[in-house]
A and B are shown apart, each in its own frame.
Chain A
């Protein structure tokens, strides 16, 4: 006996040392981990080219770097003054690439760039344009314009630009709709809000930089002279969203974790009436949580905030193992603990295994967020169970004793004996639930990607309203040109632009953008330069062209000079555009990734209608352009999510099959497995029907929640269907306590503001209660 004790103690020491090393290792990994809160974890790992584009745009596309600012609460003049003061303060801040509030700050540079380079930029510049006939029609167009109400604008230009290239360029650049103005600053349509559009230097997924940018805006607003107590500052944009999402997730996760821990601790204290039991009970939980985070960090390179939030809820399940140990091995001698590991551990081990089988299917998900949840659960549960089995018994003090729960156990026993009478009413309830599910089958799933977003509806509404004020529609349709160099993508853009122009002429499109508009390819610039005739030839042609026009050829002397200069001017480079507002456009539309270049050509729908995408696709099919992709961003993101949802449904079914397979392999009795599965299936069906009645549409996280109901519930079903028919009162008591802690952990999530956490909470909390009750109801009759 003595030697047995000694080996036990030796083994115990070894286990404790290994465990400590493991915990320290986890701590080191976690301290080096990166934590994220953006939606990228819920986007696919192996995207299609179109999805890739979507992802890049979400991460650091122009749209991701825009912050829309609104100022309201006072009168329009105060708003305008504030807008100017804020803009002035921020223009000197290097965190912002551009600060626009409608003030014509870059107008002079813009005009100078366009005017000085008009013969390299204007698509009308061709050899024909400078023939006698070409000059004749161009000059006569200019005279018509001169006589029109807009004539005043071009009067001073005529001697230098008789062919109207500047007008051509301005016409192209001013095609988009602009906000209204008050005192030279942008205001909303109703005039009640001043508007600013800011572009940050940092990408939208750099949440720290976005937060700094937001603080800078707030600071500029707080220190503006015209600020009154009534004035209000509004901000929106993808960067703002990620900052608020991070703040929400951070505060929610820490608050929820705290509440869960307090709740579970109170429960444990209530049951065990012992502080040492409380502390010891949390050891497997903490070990599991640390292992989960470390595993995710190692496996994915970063840990998502949602995973952490999920982790706090999983405390409720991991603590079950300690409860099983404490309650089920009630006597205070080592024999009983050994007894526990012999008699109860196999059942718990099987419970852990079913959970692992269920969650392992998530590991296969193409979406890192889902896979993270899977890995976290598996690692967390394995470690929590292992620590409970091999470390915790050695740490229990020899006089460890918890409060006697046998009275509770006995009460439960008598309840359970009557539970089987409820079988038929339960079957009826299940039939009703099935009918409800069939009735709701069409709208049971929420297939909008926004259902995953941690951004609240109020923030989305503000964003929509500011965007509408700004006249900035979402970029939905894009033509994407890819190539190996800037020159090649610009050349492709120019070819695409020719095709798109035919659609604009037909009225299919209102317009489109192209980087080649602001920065033509070198080949195009060379061709335009080559179209310009030399001075003597041009002079002769001008004289001929103006013969029957009401204008003297002598008027165009400055034109001759400009053409001569343009013929030998240096070609435009990206650097030439830097001081103009067009730099922002080029920056957004021309993207370099290592050795790969992409040019984006966003399309604008005709007012009040949608773009006929069929015509666009047909055009590109017949034009046979290589390296060109037409992308519908909204369709792509919806496809992405529905693919995601379908995958998750398949994986969950796979998990279920894996669990059934495992149970069949262990028990080799289909009837026995059916008895275990029935209460779990019943819990899933009832919970889903309940959610449907309450109008909650199911998202992927509800699905993960259902998987968790099966995983947790399998423990109960296994205990109730033990082959040795041994269901002691204290086992029953342990199950009730385990159930209560799980409900506490997940029930707290149901009150979260972050939709994904809330979804899991409302599914798991009622689901596990039902799983316990159904397990009792459907258990074999002969026990106790």
Chain B
């Protein structure tokens, strides 16, 4: 696709180069044995019924003096169930089931007799928290290969090929644009390998995923 950009910058008039553009646009398709585009990618992703993976996540938050690193496992069951179980540095979990998001954090309560650990549960209905949904829906939608749902909420662009693709999602709602700049999801074939979230305020997170 890159050549298109180069050519459009030359002195040729648009009319004359149109056949050429058409021709060049065919190149990526022709180079593959079969037709591969976002629809095909989504179709492939939608075939995955369940998956289990390990992740390492690094979050950079401006307020904090050091990035936060965590690791754990991801469990996905098509099309609406996603679990993120953090093991290090502290056990915590996030379970998404349809519209319900349950976040369970290990909290410590100080008392003079010694710290007490307990888990704090937050139960959210995503519909009530669009700011959280904008992150989670991008991942769930991609895992489920749900192009319609993704197109409802994001402007989507795809670069790369079947072996190494990156899906860039930009929220279409301006309110969400104030929070999220871009979500880049990269992978190979029907496997997601990397999720990078860039927030408008400069905070970001990078999750590397290794499929089992």
Contact = CB atoms under 8 A, between A and B. Distances in A.
B135 A149 contact: yes
Interface stretch (A1-9, A133-141, A518-526): A133-141
Given A153-B129, A178-B128, A144 B64 contact: no
A150 B68 CA distance: 15
Interface string A443-465: 00000000000000000000000
Contacts of A145: 105
Interface stretch (B15-23, B35-43, B107-115, B145-153): B107-115
Given A149-B135, A149-B136, A150-B132, A140 B122 contact: no
Contacts of A174: 123
A134 B112 CA distance: 9
Contacts of B203: 155
Interface stretch (A376-384, A547-555, A558-566, A754-762): A547-555
A129 B64 CA distance: 22
Contacts of B123: 174-175
A131 interface: yes
Interface of A: 128-129, 131, 133-134, 136-138, 140-141, 143-153, 155, 158-159, 171, 174-175, 178, 180-181, 550-552, 555
A149 B94 contact: yes
Nearest to A555: B63
A550 B68 contact: yes
B128 A147 contact: no
Nearest to B89: A144
B94 to A, nearest CB: 5
Contacts of B111: 128
Interface string B111-155: 110010000101111011101100110000000000000000000
Given A148-B105, A180-B125, A550-B68, 16 more contacts: A128-B112, A133-B110, A133-B115, A137-B115, A140-B108, A148-B94, A149-B84, A149-B101, A152-B132, A153-B131, A153-B132, A171-B122, A174-B123, A178-B128, A181-B127, A550-B65
Nearest to A148: B103
Contacts of A551: 63-65
14 contacts: A128-B111, A140-B108, A141-B107, A144-B90, A144-B105, A147-B61, A149-B101, A149-B135, A150-B103, A151-B61, A152-B179, A153-B131, A155-B203, A551-B65
Chain B, interface size: which category?
Answer: 35 or more
Contacts of A171: 120, 122
Taking chain A's interface residues, is the majority helix, strand, or loop, or is none over half, making it mixed?
helix
Nearest to A179: B125
B80 interface: no
A76 to B, nearest CB: 13
A158 B63 contact: yes
B63 A159 contact: yes
Contacts of B108: 137, 140-141
A699 B66 CA distance: 74
B196 interface: no
Given A137-B109, A144-B106, A149-B101, A550 B179 contact: no
Contacts of B68: 143, 147, 550
B188 interface: no
Nearest to B114: A133
A181 B128 contact: yes
Q: Which among A136, A150, A158, A175 has the greatest number of chain B C-beta atoms within 10 A?
A: A150
A328 B101 CA distance: 84
Contact of B110 (A136, A144, A155, A555): A136
